[in-house]
């Protein structure tokens, strides 16, 4: 049996690069399946480290520490895409990295990502590469304002972006990003935002969740719901497109494809996330096998689990803003019996910081959304 197909069985040790809430939920799923978990990041007492067996505090560019970390695990995965290429290369000398470093290379850079999607014939938002202010001005002749200018790398949750509402905004927008490599994207008149979280195993097996309907506030995911209420044809189209992405990238693991649904009924891919995704958190409570268990199964070469959803569900993010008037009233939210609370172990709540989430199950998608939002509102309500 080849090394690629030889499964990593429970009892082995799994390594995670990055130590936030996604790593925490991965570690919980892994430990439930009988694995040990080691985590490496520049911090300690982290959301992942609190539930891992070993927490290694080291910069990602300390390649000696990274190599020592990789020697002690059977496989390495990551919980955010801004891991330097040199870090994954150092790991690959001692343990397989899944998804592979090549997947990170494509998806952590907006220009490479959009160019890849275009190369395999998938529809994206209009875009143009920009390296100078002069290029930006010329690009605006093709991609008319309003548009958004984004750094090509290292952006998330609306960071590294500048709106251009009029061509005269170009100098201000270019100066604000402080970069020499950017991407100009046209605004999309969309009806809704959707995501498909999917998993692909070592043997090429594929499963998916969704599509999931998403609403954002201040560029941060606010509420997700599944089912999203799309016509069956659009559901199928979104899943087919997601599968094409995972297969073209040869993903072993979990990847989320984020879509815009335009007002004329077209799906456009906005971006990719080569890891579990915030919108997929509702799968923990609503599905037979959640996105984190699928990642464990995939990277270990085990058969994928069933993604079957047993009831409509909605997820409401809990940002640090919930703490602004004091300790949240957890008892008030949990008095709603169809609500599940997930907290991430972060010590310092800050506005905009993801501190946890609530998942509500219901008889209908709309009912689940109402319950999740009501539960979140109760956290800040005066008794």
pLDDT block averages, 10 residues each, the chain of length 383: 73 98 98 98 97 98 98 96 92 97 93 96 95 94 92 71 91 91 92 97 96 94 97 97 98 98 96 97 98 98 98 98 93 97 95 97 98 97 73
DSSP helix, strand, coil percent of the chain (3-state; round to 5) = 35, 30, 35
Q: Cβ–Cβ contacts within 10 Å for residue 288, how many?
A: 12
Domains 126-186 and 190-380 share a fold: no
CA-to-CA distance for 227 and 211, rounded, in angstroms? 7
pLDDT score for 81: 87
pLDDT score for 123: 97
Residue among 160, 108, 164 nearest 133 (CA) = 164
* Core vs surface per residue 330-344: b (16+ CB within 10 A) or e: eeebeeeebbbebeb
Q: Are 95 and 70 in contact (CB under 8 A)?
A: yes
What's domain 190-380's superfamily in CATH?
Answer: ATP-grasp fold, B domain (3.30.470.20)
Q: Facing residues of 244 across strands?
A: none
pLDDT score for 5: 62
Pairing mode, strands 190-200 and 206-217: antiparallel
**Residue 13 Cα to chain centre, angstroms:** 23
CA-derived radius of gyration, the chain: 21
pLDDT score for 1: 37
pLDDT score for 156: 59
User: What is each CA distance from 275 to 86, 98, 252, 338, in whole angstroms?
Assistant: 19, 10, 10, 28
Question: Which segments of 237-337 are extended strands (E)?
Answer: 253-262, 267-273, 313-319
pLDDT score for 204: 97
The domain locations on the chain are: 13-97, 126-186, 190-380
Fold of 13-97: Rossmann fold (3.40.50)
Instruction: State the residue for tokens 């939920």.
Output: 25
Q: Are 137 and 182 in contact (CB under 8 A)?
A: no
Q: Facing residues of 190 across strands?
A: 262
What's the DSSP call for residue 303? P
Q: Are 194 and 257 in contact (CB under 8 A)?
A: no
Contacts of 377 (CB under 8 A, 6+ apart): none
Fold of 126-186: Dna Ligase; domain 1 (3.30.1490)
| pTM listed for this prediction | 0.94
């Amino acid at each position: 049996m080849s090394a690629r197909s030889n499964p990593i069985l429970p009892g082995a040790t799994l390594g995670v690069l990055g130590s936030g809430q996604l790593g925490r939920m991965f570690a919980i799923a892994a430990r439930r399946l009988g694995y040990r978990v080691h985590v490496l990041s520049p911090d300690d007492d982290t959301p992942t480290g609190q539930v891992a067996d070993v927490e290694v505090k080291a910069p990602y560019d300390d390649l000696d520490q990274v190599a020592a970390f990789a020697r002690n695990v059977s496989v390495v995965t990551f919980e955010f895409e801004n891991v330097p290429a040199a870090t994954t290369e150092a790991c690959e000398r001692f343990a397989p990295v899944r998804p592979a470093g090549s997947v990170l290379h494509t998806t952590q850079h907006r220009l490479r990502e959009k160019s890849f999607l275009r190369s395999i014939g998938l529809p994206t938002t209009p875009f143009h590469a920009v390296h100078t202010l002069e290029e930006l001005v010329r690009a605006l002749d093709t991609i008319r304002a309003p548009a958004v200018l984004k750094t090509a790398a290292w952006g998330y949750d609306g960071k590294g972006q500048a709106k251009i509402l009029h061509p005269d905004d170009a100098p201000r927008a270019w100066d604000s990003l402080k970069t020499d490599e950017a991407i100009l994207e046209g605004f999309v008149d969309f009806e809704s935002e959707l995501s498909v979280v999917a998993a692909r195993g070592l043997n090429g097996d594929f499963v998916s969740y969704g599509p999931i309907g998403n609403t954002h506030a201040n560029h941060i995911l606010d509420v997700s719901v599944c089912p999203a209420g799309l016509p069956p044809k659009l559901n199928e189209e979104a899943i087919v497109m997601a599968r094409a992405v995972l297969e073209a990238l040869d993903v072993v693991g979990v990847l989320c494809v984020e879509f815009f649904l335009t007002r004329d009924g077209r799906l456009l891919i906005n971006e990719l996330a080569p890891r579990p995704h915030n919108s997929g958190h509702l799968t923990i409570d609503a599905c037979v096998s959640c996105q984190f268990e699928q990642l464990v199964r995939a990277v270990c070469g085990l058969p994928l689990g069933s993604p079957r959803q047993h009831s409509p569900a909605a997820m409401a993010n809990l940002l640090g803003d919930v703490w602004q008037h004091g300790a949240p009233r957890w008892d008030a939210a949990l008095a709603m019996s169809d609500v599940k609370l997930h907290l991430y172990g972060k010590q310092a709540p800050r506005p905009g910081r993801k501190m946890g989430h609530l998942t509500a199950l219901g008889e209908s998608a709309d009912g689940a959304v109402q319950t999740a939002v009501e539960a979140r509102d109760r956290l800040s309500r005066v008794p």
